[in-house]
Structure 1
Amino acid sequence: MEEIKLYNVLIIGIACVISIIIEMMLLPRVIYIAKKKRLFDLPDKRKKHSCPIPRLGGITFTPVILLVALFSLFLRFRFQIWDEELFFYRIPEILLLVCGLLVIYLLGAKDDLVGVGFKKKFVIQFFASLCIVGSGVYIDNLYGLLGIHEIPAVIGVLLSIGLIMFTTNAINLIDGADGLASGISLVALMMYGILFGLYGMWTYAGIAFIMIGLLMPFFYYNFFHPTRKIFMGDTGSLTLGYMLAFMMLRLVKYPPSVEVVPSGLLLLVLVALFIPLFDALKVMCVRISMGKAPFSPDRNHIHHKLIDLGLSKKRTVFAVVVTGVALIVSNWILLHYFNCNIVLIVDLGMGVLINMFIYRRTRQIQISKPSVVEKKKIEIEREQILEESDLR
């Protein structure tokens, strides 16, 4: 048993390294093609970049995931490191997951190239969500969250579809600062990959670490590289959101071999993406209260507010990602000592308080700053004073 575990860890490590190498080879070529074909994300009043940036970084994500995942499955078959669950449960799930992933991939690619309306995007995401729940991967137990345990299949399926679509769009919405979506996703994938490994779900642990491998080179180009910066675009953010949503559901839908399920599992899985989920919910509520469409663009996201507070883009990303790590660690510890509903109240309370503090600080800064008209008046008065002094 220990030998099989060691071989699985070794294959996952090999897959992660291969993913890094392939992505490092592909990204410079994608940047070159995007510049040659002028496929740029253009700056506007909401965006912080001042020059056009290639936006097709995410076009490589799905091909790399599929290629390396198939190779790692081949290694498992070749060296006979598999079990009955792989045949009876994983393969059907994986086949439908690939169908949904390809749908999301094509949707994102079209949106990056020519644009897709919100209604069409919503319908396509709905059908992609059906691929996941159709494979039997959906929430059937809240594990004590809100005092609820087992739930009817119909409610579980509807709840799961909503969660898949919301998570997919939440990652897309948080992708507004260099390295933010990829940084948050790296943290969540690390946690999911470790949990999959702990529960013996090696196929999905491998997929999680394959995604970690492909995100590392992208994060470097997106966050650090001074001259060859690239954005993931909707292709990348939708792919990440969809895969993260699947992993959340797969973790809470336990395989038959697992008998003991930890209390508060659903909360622990959700908290890995607490920041983008909470931020998306907050922004949508604000937009609806103002009579706007829930997906209309604005500058109410957490990264916009932190930048308005005076933080640099890099410090903003660092602050959000470190907060995400702190949330995961603190929840992991608290769930060993407290009921999951108490921990949920603490999480939501902290989220509300932090957002209220940030909102008040940004309002104070905006009020203290002179408006454009006031600045013009000050300039005119200064010029008049200078003219009078010259006359004297």
Structure 2
Amino acid sequence: MDSQLFLTVTFQGILTFLLALYLYPLLVKIGRGKNLVASFNRRSSHKDRVSVLGGFGVFFVFFVLVFVGVLHLGYGLGNTEILGLLFAGMIFFFAGFLDDALDITALRKFSFQLVGTLVFLMASKLVFEDFGGLFGLHDIPLWLSWVISIFIMQLGVNAFNLIDGVDGLAASLAAVGFGMFGVSFLLHGDHPFAIMAFAGLFAVMGFLPFNFSKRYKIFLGDSGSLFVGFLLSGFSLKYVNEVHAVNASDIAGYIVWVLTVFSYPLTDVIRVFIVRVKNGKSPFRPDRKHLHHFALDRGWKHYQITLLYISYTGILLVLQYGVLSFLNAHWGFALILVSNLLLALLPSLYGKIRPAIRMETS
């Protein structure tokens, strides 16, 4: 890292701290005053009137850090990939904010997400083109590239949106993702995207203390979870495309690495959809079938649940690094598949094992 870039990233961190100290207490006050607070229902894990304007804070801080960082280093904003990410990010934020304020229908929210995805893909041209030999697949037709890219974006965005059910979980997992992408872009010499990834990291880190706070407690809201999920999904496509441009033979390993970062959110959302369909319900109908609900119902505290799933992701990343270093991407994908399958089956296994233990001890 050159000295100018180091100073820029350091300045981003200091600026985040200063902005957060003023911004989040203000957003808590505005949220309560304008009744922009989390609604109470049977799925709620809170009892107080908590502002849902945390997403605005993350959105605002991210854009300030990006403009300061990118312009300071003289890159300008003529890069269509950067512009596509920023404009599409605004659309995702707006869709989430509408849902927070007006509780719009799932179809309308999905429509905004689709528009945002198309804006990003058409502006950036960052579509998924090559599996790099993973599953025996290589280059794929252009139409299929667009279909897969749209699916990846929607799945990633909604996965982060749906896991935002306990304090710190979505933001902490996002911090892991932003940190990984920031370092990776830096190693590839892509300083503009490294700055944006670190901006995302600092933005969620500035939010986290207030998410856990009692006096100034604030939630991401749909605006924050959709925005953060979009950024991470967009960075994923950029990451894979960047590797493709440098060395196409490395793509499979990098795809597996991205899947490892997204392991918990993807496992949770796929599991929930399967359980809902199995029970004859719409996969989009909210309930208490998420893995964090399973832990909450057994007396776990919010910070314990966040620490548990962050630890799971961290351990999986360390194991994955070893697998990809000494074996290959197929073994890496097998590691993800087995680990996430066990995670998804945890509630069922717990329901069968605990009665057996009770019978043995009684």
Q: Which of 1, 6, 12 is the matching residue for 2:3?
A: 6
**1:363 CA drift (Å):** 6.2
One-letter amino acid of the structure 2 residue matched with residue 73 of structure 1: V
Aligned residue for 2:183? 194
8 Å CA contact 2:264, 2:313 repeated in 1: yes
Sort the Cα spacing of 1:6 and 1:143 in 2 relative to 1 into closer, same or farther, 3 A: farther
Q: Which of 55, 58, 71 is the matching residue for 1:74?
A: 71
Is 1:45 the counterpart of 2:47? The answer is no
* TM-score, with length taken from structure 2: 0.92
**In the aligned structure 2, how far is the partner of 1:187 from the partner of 1:167?**
15
8 Å CA contact 1:132, 1:138 repeated in 2: no
**In the aligned structure 2, how far is the partner of 1:279 from the partner of 1:48?**
18
Q: Which of 291, 308, 318 is the matching residue for 2:297?
A: 308
8 Å CA contact 2:50, 2:217 repeated in 1: yes
Unaligned runs of 5+ in 2: none
Q: Which of 64, 82, 88 is the matching residue for 1:94?
A: 82
8 Å CA contact 1:20, 1:216 repeated in 2: no
8 Å CA contact 1:139, 1:249 repeated in 2: yes
**1:138 CA drift (Å):** 1.3
**1:261 CA drift (Å):** 5.4
Aligned residue for 2:99? 111
Sort the Cα spacing of 1:14 and 1:301 in 2 relative to 1 into closer, same or farther, 3 A: same
8 Å CA contact 1:144, 1:340 repeated in 2: no
**In the aligned structure 2, how far is the partner of 1:232 from the partner of 1:357?**
27
**In the aligned structure 2, how far is the partner of 1:260 from the partner of 1:356?**
35
**In the aligned structure 2, how far is the partner of 1:347 from the partner of 1:35?**
42
* TM-score, with length taken from structure 1: 0.85
Deviating more after overlay: 5-14 vs 341-350: 5-14
Aligned residue for 1:380? none
8 Å CA contact 2:43, 2:288 repeated in 1: yes
**1:67 CA drift (Å):** 2.0
**1:257 CA drift (Å):** 6.7
Q: Select the structure of larger CA radius of gyration.
A: 1
**In the aligned structure 1, how far is the partner of 2:51 from the partner of 2:353?**
36
**In the aligned structure 2, how far is the partner of 1:112 from the partner of 1:218?**
18
Unaligned runs of 5+ in 1: 370-392
Q: Which of 323, 333, 349 is the matching residue for 1:344?
A: 333
Aligned residue for 1:356? 345
Aligned residue for 2:110? 122
Regions of 4+ moved over 4 Å: 362-369
The number of aligned residues is 356
One-letter amino acid of the structure 1 residue matched with residue 199 of structure 2: I
8 Å CA contact 2:100, 2:223 repeated in 1: yes
8 Å CA contact 1:30, 1:57 repeated in 2: yes
Aligned residue for 1:383? none
**1:174 CA drift (Å):** 0.2
**In the aligned structure 1, how far is the partner of 2:355 from the partner of 2:217?**
31
Sort the Cα spacing of 1:236 and 1:36 in 2 relative to 1 into closer, same or farther, 3 A: same
Is 1:204 the counterpart of 2:204? The answer is no
8 Å CA contact 1:141, 1:148 repeated in 2: yes
8 Å CA contact 2:43, 2:287 repeated in 1: yes
Q: Which of 61, 64, 68 is the matching residue for 2:61?
A: 64
